[in-house]
């Protein structure tokens, strides 16, 4: 199943929600969201820096990942950035594919 990294940044309202309900409640909410789309939450961490939360989700497809981002963003408590994660095996497979590409400036 494809893996996705989500990097979330809380709004003021979202941070207030975490303070009042706790971090475990947030993790459980994201776990329930992933399950509702046929996936699962693999990892969930609060962090310092530009983002407040990093999560790794196993989801069935890109549309499910887009649904996660849209529903979280629309709720207003956080903004989400989603990154597709690839295994080393997937990169090896990609490197073997035949391509037809000319870099910019070449004839």
pTM above 0.85, yes or no: yes
What CATH architecture does domain 3-96 belong to?
Answer: 2-Layer Sandwich (3.30)
DSSP code for 88:
H
Main-chain dihedrals φ then ψ at residue 100, nearest 5 degrees? -125, 100
Please state, rounded to an integer, the average pLDDT across all residues of the chain.
96
Residues 60-101 pLDDT 10s = 999 999 999 999 999 999 999 999 999 999 999 999 999 998
The pair of structure tokens assigned to 101 is 């590409």
């Amino acid at each position: 199943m494809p893996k996705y990294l989500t990097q979330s940044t809380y709004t003021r309202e979202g941070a207030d929600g975490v303070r009042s309900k706790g971090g475990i409640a947030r993790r459980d909410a994201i776990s329930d969201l992933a399950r509702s789309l046929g996936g699962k939450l693999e990892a969930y961490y609060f962090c310092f820096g530009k983002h407040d939360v990093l999560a790794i989700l196993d989801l069935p497809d890109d549309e499910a990942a887009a649904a996660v981002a849209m529903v979280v963003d629309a709720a207003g408590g956080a903004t989400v950035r989603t990154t597709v994660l690839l295994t080393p095996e997937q990169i090896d497979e990609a490197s073997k594919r035949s391509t037809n590409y000319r870099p910019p400036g070449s004839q």
